[in-house]
Amino acid sequence: MDQGVQLLEQVKAKLTGCADIIYQPLQVGAYSCLLIYIGSIVSKQTLREAIIKPLLEEGRREQSDQQLAERIVKEEFFPIPSTRMRTADELGDAIVSGYAALYWYGQSEMRVFGLVDYQRRAIPDSTNEMVTVGPQEAFIEDLEVNLSLLRHRIKHTDMKIQEFLLGTYTKSRIFAIHIEGICKPEILKQVIQSLEEMNMDSNFGVSSLGECLVRSSYSPLPQYQFTERPDTAAAALLEGRVVILQDGNPFSLVVPVTFFSLLQSAEDYYQSAASASWIRLVRLLFSVFSLLLPSLYVAITTFHPEIIPTALLITIAAARENIPFTAVVEALIMEITFEGLREAGIRIPKPLGQTVSIIGGIVIGQAAVQAGIVSAPLVIVVSITGIASFIIPHYELGLAFRLLRFPLLLIGGTLGLIGILVSMFLIYMYMVNLRSFGIPYMQPLAPFVWKDIKDTFIRAPWFLMKTRPASYAKDNMKRQGPRWQR
């Protein structure tokens, strides 16, 4: 059997069972050819204008068969780029990825054209990281569109992109992006090595990708950051971090991270320095509330009532007089109920979600107080804790605090303030020793880096932000030139 015919039969065998595969025969002069593609994922207009039309027009010209064959096999004949493939495996993978293969009878290879045209949605507003002032656009599920949103913000040849294919079956395209001369080589090396070593049959989300990238997989604290905002991803690149985009995902993955970078919001950089600094301090305070407030309430009311002013203590004691549960059980009931309401608000249809989560919480809390199941002061504490957890800008860190809140609550109810202090010391020790892609998790506080404090607890004015964070950047540390004078 001729090698070309044998290759065609192998490709057809590989694509057997694909009901949407299209085999389109074409007669070009005295020659026959065959177009193989999947109609649902290729651009049919480009297929007609760039491949079929030139072939048919060339077939109508008065020329010998040899001249016709010589012209068509030239690389510059078609107005779009193409590659040549000689194995059935390569051709099969290319066709199911949105390429069109042209088989010319008598040839031992096929020419492949990139005509991918997946259905995509318009660029939406950012819904999870909203800002009052600043860009509103967000990433979508199309990799090329997401890359263009980054290119729109960073117009420099030092922005380097490395492509990977992940998943034996899914073959998901992944871009690892960094700024050459800013990103530390050791960070980039670890990211690239982790991506190359991955061996899985499928991967559909950057969340599972991030879990596979980090080395401390059992840590409750996030060691990577998700963002749907192109401006946040671009800012991370200019700090020296690596941004990972995956086809089919409207979120990007940013590595490495520190604890303080997860407490920063995009809006901090679109407001005045004084306003942004005040909001950051409030955010830090309420982050502590979201972690410790229920456990402190239980520990103080159970073991250390002398800390509470007498008038307030009498009010709390009167509210708890007919409550049949201990303070720790009462707090656990309310916390678990609040978590259930939060999840219900996420899962039910969007128009009803806020109504159920807010009104439901108020109604259930009021009913529980009137029924004597929980006390009114604890309802206030749990409500403040729930509100505080929403202030944390990144969902993964808020989820980690919600997870740690329960063991701290049990410790506060059994060991009092001493147990909470010891637990916080152990958590802090763990965070100090934790590293995200080689970067200390608590930097610039531990180890202390004075120059980076200007963008940690507060946000300094722009004329003081002259250097990049030492946590991520290397070599090119200058962010502003000497012409910026005050």
In a domain, 241, yes or no: yes
| 357 vs 235: CA distance, rounded Å | 34
Q: Domain check: are 428 and 286 in the same one?
A: yes
In a domain, 269, yes or no: no
Q: Which residue has the higher pLDDT, 483 or 325?
A: 325
Number of Cβ within a 10 Å radius of residue 187: 22
pLDDT of residue 352 exceeding 60: no
Residues 6+ apart with CB under 8 A from 474: 182, 183, 184, 185, 240
In a domain, 124, yes or no: no
pLDDT of residue 168 exceeding 50: yes
Q: Whose CA is closest to 228, among 151, 156, 141, 117?
A: 141
Q: Domain check: are 285 and 392 in the same one?
A: yes
Mean pLDDT computed over every residue of the chain: 85
Q: Domain check: are 431 and 298 in the same one?
A: yes
What pLDDT was estimated at residue 485?
Answer: 47
Q: Domain check: are 424 and 307 in the same one?
A: yes
> Residues 78-130: pLDDT tens digits?
888 888 888 988 898 888 888 899 888 777 888 899 888 776 777 888 878 88
What pLDDT was estimated at residue 354?
Answer: 58
Amino acid at 16: T
Q: What is the mean pLDDT of residues 388-408?
A: 91
Residue 468 in tokens: 């990049």
What pLDDT was estimated at residue 340?
Answer: 81
Q: Domain check: are 319 and 434 in the same one?
A: yes
Residue 37 in tokens: 């593609």
Domain count, the chain: 3
DSSP letter string, 232-295: HHHHHHHHT-EEEEETT-S-EEEES--TTGGG--GGGGSS-HHHHHHHHHHHHHHHHHHHHHHH
Tell me if 154 sits within 8 A of 232, measured CB to CB: no
Considering 11-25, 273-287, 335-349, the range whose residues carry the highest mean pLDDT is: 273-287
Residue 452 in tokens: 């980076």
Q: Domain check: are 251 and 308 in the same one?
A: no
DSSP, res 122: P
What pLDDT was estimated at residue 419?
Answer: 95
Residue identified by tokens 């005045």 is 272
| 3-state SS class at 27 | strand
pTM of the prediction? 0.83
| 55 vs 63: CA distance, rounded Å | 14
Cis peptide before 256 (omega within 30 of 0): yes
What pLDDT was estimated at residue 69?
Answer: 67
Q: Domain check: are 249 and 295 in the same one?
A: no
Q: Which residue has the higher pLDDT, 36 or 59?
A: 36
Q: Domain check: are 298 and 433 in the same one?
A: yes
| 3-state SS class at 126 | coil
Q: Whose CA is closest to 177, among 227, 259, 265, 240?
A: 240
What pLDDT was estimated at residue 413?
Answer: 92
pLDDT of residue 355 exceeding 60: no
The domain containing residue 339 runs over which residues?
281-439
Considering 135-144, 232-241, 469-478, the range whose residues carry the highest mean pLDDT is: 232-241
Q: Domain check: are 103 and 223 in the same one?
A: no
In a domain, 121, yes or no: no
> Residues 326-347: pLDDT tens digits?
889 989 988 888 888 777 777 7
In a domain, 383, yes or no: yes
Q: Which residue has the higher pLDDT, 188 or 367?
A: 188
Confidence band, pLDDT 50/70/90 cuts, at residue 365 = confident
In a domain, 426, yes or no: yes
| 3-state SS class at 53 | helix
Q: Domain check: are 347 and 252 in the same one?
A: no
In a domain, 387, yes or no: yes
What pLDDT was estimated at residue 486?
Answer: 47
Q: Domain check: are 151 and 244 in the same one?
A: yes
Q: Residue 405 phi/psi, 5° resolution?
A: -65, -35
In a domain, 275, yes or no: no
Q: What is the mean pLDDT of residues 52-73?
A: 73
What pLDDT was estimated at residue 167?
Answer: 83
Q: Domain check: are 35 and 147 in the same one?
A: no
What pLDDT was estimated at residue 50?
Answer: 87
What pLDDT was estimated at residue 5?
Answer: 83
Tell me if 297 sits within 8 A of 381, measured CB to CB: yes
> Residues 206-226: pLDDT tens digits?
777 888 888 777 888 999 999
Residues 6+ apart with CB under 8 A from 11: 36, 88, 91, 92, 95, 101, 103, 110
